[in-house]
């Protein structure tokens, strides 16, 4: 982008607000960490009775997240904490409504965050690789060379016409049956391959629509100036298509974030499966609250990123 951008003052009002919030959070975090109770205090929090029944294992029975500390008796029968410490060392009873919810959620957070990581990384790598694959598929489907055109059309037809779930099963369970050399033992790898192949087909149709929406006059002008086909696509057509592609690709992205829950069927733990596992173990519907919030946060962050991208590519409008 060769446009001249006006230099804005660094301290805009939005940035001042943002910095203040950030500063307040840092101060709070420092205060929490500074007043953090010691390990002994945490252990002391657990009732005598439980400490004895848990025996030597009690050292595993507390969790310390730095900011929020939870002492949890390893009562296998209920699975829930009986006492815990608040952020500033306060001691709460496990039956305290809201506070206990916070403690429970903080207990679940690590596995939810891990699941979120899987969901995000699977989505990002699959869609990114899918977009590259899709560019070739789209150009191939528009190609005048018939075998290429047929292959790309067939590919797109196949992957759009069959359920992603079956494609995933096929990659993970089916391929090893054909030949053991094709076995993909890493679940994430298998999910990535299935998702990228599938995304490629969907995005190819988006790219084709975007390329075909470019005015015919652009091809003619490029041709009359002597640009080759590759130069015409690379310098004229594709750059103009990118902006038109951003909203539908953002949409595909958000679909894949949710489709990622299918990976639980090959026992890969994404955010959905992490949530379900906690739900099965604790019978607490409360776990849906952080899970939903996490999903919404991911979607919001990516929507924001795509909006920014769209703005960047709109400078010439």
Partner 1 sequence: MSLIRTESVYKSFGELEVLRGITTTVEQGEVVCIIGPSGAGKSTFLRSLNQLEEITSGKIFIDEQLFLHKENGVLVERISASEHKRLLLEMGMVFQSFNLFPHMTVMDNVITAPTRVKKVPRDEAVADAIEILRQVGLEDKHDAYPSKLSGGQMQRVAIARSLAMHPKIMLFDEPTSALDPELVGEVLSVMKKLAESGMTMLVVTHEMGFAREAADRVLFMCDGIIAEESEPNELFSNPKNPRTRQFLNSVL
Q: Among 68-76, 93-101, 180-188, 309-317, which window interacts with partner 1 (CB under 8 A)? A: 309-317
Contact of 131 with 249, CB cutoff 8 Å = yes
Closest residue by Cα to residue 287 from 133, 104, 118, 22: 104
For residue 180, the Cα-to-chain-centroid distance in whole angstroms is 31
Shortest separation between residue 202's beta carbon and partner 1, angstroms: 25
Kindly state whether residue 305 participates in binding partner 1, applying the rule CB under 8 A.
Answer: no
Longest CA span, the chain: 88
Kindly state whether residue 215 participates in binding partner 1, applying the rule CB under 8 A.
Answer: yes
Question: Phi-psi region for residue 224, left (φ > 0), alpha (ψ -120 to 50) or beta?
Answer: alpha
Query: How many Cβ atoms are within 10 Å of 90's Cβ, its own excluded?
Result: 12
Q: Among 78-86, 112-120, 138-146, 235-243, which window interacts with partner 1 (CB under 8 A)? A: 235-243
Which of 183, 220, 229, 293: binder of partner 1 (CB under 8 A)? 220
Kindly state whether residue 247 participates in binding partner 1, applying the rule CB under 8 A.
Answer: no
Kindly state whether residue 207 participates in binding partner 1, applying the rule CB under 8 A.
Answer: no
Contact of 71 with 62, CB cutoff 8 Å = yes
Closest residue by Cα to residue 268 from 280, 278, 260: 260
State which residue, 60 or 215, has the beta carbon closest to partner 1: 215
Q: Among 22-30, 45-53, 116-124, 219-227, which window interacts with partner 1 (CB under 8 A)? A: 219-227
State which residue, 158 or 229, has the beta carbon closest to partner 1: 229
Contact of 84 with 69, CB cutoff 8 Å = yes
Residue with tokens 């795509």: 306
What are phi and psi for residue 305, nearest 5 degrees?
-60, -45
State which residue, 157 or 316, has the beta carbon closest to partner 1: 316
Tell me the number of residues near partner 1 by CB under 8 A: 21
Shortest separation between residue 237's beta carbon and partner 1, angstroms: 10
Q: What residues make contact with partner 1 under the rule CB under 8 A?
A: 2-4, 215, 217-218, 220-221, 223-227, 231, 235-236, 239-240, 315-317
């Amino acid at each position: 982008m060769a446009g001249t951008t006006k230099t804005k003052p660094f301290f805009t009002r939005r940035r001042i607000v943002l910095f203040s919030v950030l500063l307040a959070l840092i101060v709070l975090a420092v205060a929490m960490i500074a007043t953090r109770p010691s390990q002994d205090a945490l252990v002391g929090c657990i009732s005598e009775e439980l400490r004895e029944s848990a025996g030597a294992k009690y050292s595993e029975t507390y969790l310390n997240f730095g900011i929020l500390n939870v002492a949890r008796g390893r009562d296998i029968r209920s699975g829930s904490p009986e006492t815990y410490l608040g952020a500033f060392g306060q001691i709460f009873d496990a039956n305290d409504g809201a506070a206990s919810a916070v403690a429970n959620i903080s207990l679940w957070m690590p596995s939810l965050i891990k699941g979120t990581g899987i969901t995000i990384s699977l989505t990002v790598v699959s869609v990114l690789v899918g977009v590259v694959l899709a560019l070739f598929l789209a150009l191939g489907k528009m190609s005048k060379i018939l075998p290429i055109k047929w292959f790309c059309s067939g590919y797109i037809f196949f992957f759009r016409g069959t359920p992603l779930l079956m494609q995933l099963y096929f990659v993970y369970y089916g391929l090893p049956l054909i030949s053991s050399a094709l076995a993909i033992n890493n679940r994430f790898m298998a999910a990535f391959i299935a998702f990228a192949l599938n995304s490629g087909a969907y995005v190819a149709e988006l790219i084709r629509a975007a390329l075909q929406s470019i005015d015919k006059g652009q091809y003619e002008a490029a041709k009359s100036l002597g640009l080759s086909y590759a130069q015409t696509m690379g310098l004229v057509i594709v750059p103009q298509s990118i902006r038109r592609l951003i909203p539908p690709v953002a949409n595909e992205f958000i679909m894949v974030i949710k489709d990622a829950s299918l990976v639980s069927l090959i026992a890969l733990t994404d955010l959905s499966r992490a949530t379900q596992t906690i739900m099965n173990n604790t019978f607490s519907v409360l776990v849906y609250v952080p899970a939903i919030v996490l999903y919404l946060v991911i979607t919001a962050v990516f929507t924001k990123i795509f909006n920014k991208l769209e703005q960047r590519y709109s400078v010439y409008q």
